[in-house]
Amino acid sequence: MSTDGSGAALPSALRQGAALLSAVADRERSGRAGLSASRLAEQTGIERSRTSRLTQELVELGFLQRDEDATFRAGPAYFELAASRQEEWLRAARGALRSLVARFRVSARVLAADGPRAVLLRLETASGAPETAATPGMVTPIWCTGGGRALLWLDSRARLEERLRGVEFVGVGGPRAAHSAAGVWELMERDRARGFVSADQEFEYGVREIAAPVLVAGRLRGAVSVACRSDDADLVPVLGEEVRAVAKRLGSASG
């Protein structure tokens, strides 16, 4: 945050900037529409012109993103900072992802749950991997991506339905995405039986995701996924076992 040379300005700006970031992140987790600058000012008690100035700086730094409707959501720098403060398993993930990429020519990812959304924390990709719009910090629906569904691994049916209450299924996801919480539950039951998630064209046309949850001391901390082409069906068993093994090793890194 900028300062006019006053030693007291920086701590004040940091506190207010943190309050704005917290308000935006909390709003995203709730699943409700984003907050505009004026609503942020009301919610945080920060003067409106100062809120406008601080949010602009946060956008420039990448901690916030401003959508077309002038509301805000967390930006890639926010998620990168959160990832850098995570447990040992996440710090160890980069090498594991690069190994998967080198061996199978896929893109490999680590994700974390944020309510009904999945947040992409790490991404490694090979030149021969299928094209994808994924970027670090990207937020996607948790129910129609492979990595996202792996984040639902421990959810009971009641918990899953609660998490997805109010989600708009129509017009979201790929051609093979579920269209209801019941449909998501059926896919989870199928995938739990084989030990990993296989999501074929549930989010992107022509892309298949194989994923597994990262469990630390029995608690779900994240998910590992790889993306290959939809027609690489013969790779599913091999990739499933590899991804599950990587997820288990990462979970043990914090054990």
Q: What structural domains does the chain harbor?
A: 9-74 (1.10.10.10), 80-253 (3.30.450.40)
pLDDT of 176? 95
Read off the pLDDT of each residue in 59-87 and give the average, rounded to a whole number: 76
pLDDT of 81? 65
**Phi/psi at 189 (5° precision):** -60, -45
Say whether pLDDT at 215 is over 50.
Answer: yes
pLDDT of 80? 66
Q: Which two tokens stand for residue 117?
A: 């959304």
Q: Which of 9, 53, 49 has the alpha carbon at shortest distance from 64?
A: 53
pLDDT: which is higher, 68 or 154 = 154
Say whether pLDDT at 118 is over 50.
Answer: yes
pLDDT: which is higher, 158 or 67 = 158
- Of 117-126, 127-136, 192-201, 232-241, the range with the lowest mean pLDDT is 127-136
Say whether pLDDT at 63 is over 90.
Answer: no
pLDDT of 5? 39
The winner for highest mean pLDDT among 27-41, 43-57, 121-135 is 43-57
pLDDT: which is higher, 254 or 96 = 96
Question: CB 59: neighbour CB atoms within 10 A?
Answer: 14
